[in-house]
Structures are given as C-alpha cells and as structure tokens.
Amino acid sequence: MSISQSAIKSNLNVSEKKPTQNGYILNEHGKEIQITAAMIRSVCHQLLNQCRTIKN
C-alpha cells in the first residue's frame, strides 16, 4: 500500500466515525441517489490517478 493510499484509508476511518450529513445527486431519470463513502473514495482514486498521469 502506498503512502497516499494509507493516508486516505486512515483519514476515512476517522471521518466515518463522526456524525455525517447525507448528500444526494440526481440520476438521469431525476431520482435522488444518496452519495456514499464508496462513491467518494472511487472519485478520489480516479482523480489521484489522473494527477499521476498528468505529472508523468
């Protein structure tokens, strides 16, 4: 596990124990979909990979 993955994992473990508010997005049919921690992790990993690609 890389340092960045370790930092992300430890930060998520801390933040998941705090009270949270729910966020929602609209899908293509106008239905509200709750934003999950897995969605946020996925997007963060995608952004990190894009940044690494641009840097190289």
Where does 1-56 have alpha helices with state H? 3-15, 37-55
Q: Read off the pTM.
A: 0.52
Q: Distance between CA 3 and CA 9 in Å, rounded? A: 10
Residue among 35, 39, 41 nearest 9 (CA) = 41
Q: Is 19 helix (H, G, I), strand (E, B) or coil?
A: coil
Q: Give pLDDT tens digits for 8-25.
A: 565 555 555 666 678 999
6 pLDDT more than 60: no
